[in-house]
Amino acid sequence: METLKKVRKIFDAVVLTAIVIYFLLMFGFTNGNVITRYLLNRPIVISNEIARYAYVDIIFLGAIYTMRGDGHLSLDFFTKRMPGKMGQIISIGGRILTEVFLVIMTVFSYKMVMANLNNPSTAMQIPMAIPYAPMVVGGIGMFVEELIWIVIKIKELKNPAGEEVSSCK
């Protein structure tokens, strides 16, 4: 478990650093475009695309990080009120369904990336596969985080002594 904790700590640092970098790109190009458009009458042509693509990157990286902290919206009103381990079992079942969705989303996102390898963006003329790639990365990252959550919860269910199972945070 110690190795997993170290890997997750490094992974968290990489994800958060990437989010900050993309935010700074988005913020910098958006503000730079406002300044150059109104003061110099020369807009930065690629700024809208860069800001849009950075925003998408932030969304999918943030989704991974939020999945890691179990921070996504969930309806646990009924599962918390169920007797014994029934609520935990139903919660795990819901997470397994989430995993199925993430696999489907990732597969179709990958197909979209591959279909757009030769389709250039409007302003920057980069392959549209690049802006679509964060969907694949986000899907894989969320899948892994959800899988780790499921494994931890199953271990907690199987733990007969009632000892705390490490959540790897």
State whether residue 75 is helix, strand or coil: coil
Instruction: Name the residue type at position 31.
Output: N
For 22-63, what is each residue's pLDDT tens digit? 999 999 999 999 999 999 999 998 999 999 999 999 999 999
pTM over cut 0.85: no
CA–CA dist 150, 70 (Å, integer): 11
Angle (CA) 104-106-107 rounded to 5° is: 65
